[in-house]
């Protein structure tokens, strides 16, 4: 069955309607794990998400649903209509607006900082993101061991984490606050896709924002702090970006091993190599700071 037919079946099941009542508009770009579509049901827009092949071992839908419930009162994300924690299928109201991956202004940086601070300062209780344990768990998904380069970079990161960064207090973070997951709607910024949410250092979210260009993360940090970041704060930001690209290196390697390069027409092997090179780049920046 095609993905579009699965999306159609989900819409008819959730809304108890006929095929004639459903119009599949388009698939959202971005992300390595999911199939997410804009769908109109009786002319009302919704977003339907199906977890992609292999994605079910990377995230925990029960934890995602828990975190979505916890942040609901903050009004910083879309309203969930349906969530099946066994399959990870999620239906939510559509948030009209522009992804920040398409365009961004100085005013947008101010609003992103405000949205993230409203989340971080809410003192919400959630599941620990478990940086060390998650990376180890992802590694175990691979059919062959990661490269010696990966392990050398990982050991450098672990040493820094154990000696310094593990001592920073944790708050509930979005966990994947890259620009494609932030939507500008009217005068508000919404955070979408909470699969990677968990208790973490707030700098982790800011580092995620540098997915397209890390200078975006450094700029956002200044707005978040309300002042020019100190050298050690920029190092802290680079430290978490180093972890993120190590994590995505393993995820991309996993997808390549499982045939997703051919199926999705994306060279996940090359993507994995790019992330590994980025991890080395950030380690050199950390050492030089």
Taking only the tens of pLDDT, the chain with its 289 residues reads: 788 999 999 999 999 999 999 999 999 876 566 889 999 999 999 999 998 777 778 999 999 999 999 999 999 999 999 999 999 999 999 999 999 999 899 999 999 999 999 999 999 999 999 999 999 999 999 999 999 999 999 999 999 999 999 999 999 999 999 999 999 998 899 999 999 999 999 999 999 999 999 999 999 999 999 999 999 999 999 999 999 999 999 999 999 998 888 887 889 999 999 999 999 999 999 999 8
At residue 17, the 3 state secondary structure works out as coil
Q: Are 225 and 233 in contact (CB under 8 A)?
A: yes
What is d(CA 39, CA 232) in angstroms, rounded to the nearest whole number? 46
Euclidean distance between CA atoms 136 and 167, whole angstroms: 20
Q: Left if phi > 0, otherwise alpha if psi is -120 to 50, otherwise beta: which for 198?
A: left
Confidence at residue 29, expressed as pLDDT on a 0 to 100 scale: 76
Indicate the helix (H) or strand (E) that contains 106. Answer: helix 106-120
Can you tell me the distance from the alpha carbon of 272 to that of 257, in angstroms, rounded to the nearest whole number? 11
What domains appear along the chain, each with residue ranges and CATH number? 3-93 (3.30.200.20), 98-288 (3.90.1200.10)
User: Measuring CA to CA, which residue among 23, 192, 198 is closest to residue 92?
Assistant: 192
CB neighbours (10 Å) of residue 79? 11
- The answer to whether residues 250 and 146 touch, using CB atoms and an 8 Å cutoff, is yes
Give the pLDDT confidence score for residue 56 in this predicted structure.
76
């Amino acid at each position: 069955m095609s993905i579009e037919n699965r999306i159609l079946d989900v819409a008819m099941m959730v809304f108890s309607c006929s095929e004639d009542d459903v119009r599949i508009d388009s698939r959202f770009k971005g992300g390595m794990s999911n199939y997410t579509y804009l769908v109109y049901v009786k002319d009302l827009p919704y977003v339907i998400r199906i977890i992609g092949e292999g994605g079910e071992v990377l995230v925990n839908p029960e934890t995602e649903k828990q975190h979505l419930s916890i942040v609901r009162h903050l009004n910083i994300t879309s309203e969930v209509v349906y969530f099946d924690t066994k399959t990870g299928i999620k239906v939510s109201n559509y948030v009209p607006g522009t992804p920040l991956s398409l365009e961004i202004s100085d005013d947008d940086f101010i609003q992103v900082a405000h949205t993230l601070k409203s989340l971080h300062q809410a003192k919400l209780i959630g599941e620990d993101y478990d940086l060390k344990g998650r990376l180890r768990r992802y590694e175990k998904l691979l059919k062959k061991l990661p490269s010696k380069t990966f392990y050398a970079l990982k050991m450098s990161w672990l040493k820094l984490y154990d000696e310094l960064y593990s001592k920073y207090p944790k708050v509930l973070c979005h966990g994947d606050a890259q620009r494609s997951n932030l939507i500008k709607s009217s005068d508000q910024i919404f955070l979408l896709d909470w699969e990677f949410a968990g208790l973490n250092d707030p700098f982790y979210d800011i580092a995620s924002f540098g997915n397209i260009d890390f200078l975006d993360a450094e700029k956002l940090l200044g707005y978040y702090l309300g002042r020019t970041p100190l050298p050690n704060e920029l190092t802290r930001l680079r430290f978490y970006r180093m972890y993120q690209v190590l994590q995505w290196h393993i995820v991309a390697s996993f997808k390549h091993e499982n045939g997703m390069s051919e199926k999705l027409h994306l060279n996940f092997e090359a993507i994995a190599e790019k992330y590994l090179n980025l991890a080395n780049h950030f380690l050199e920046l950390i050492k030089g700071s």
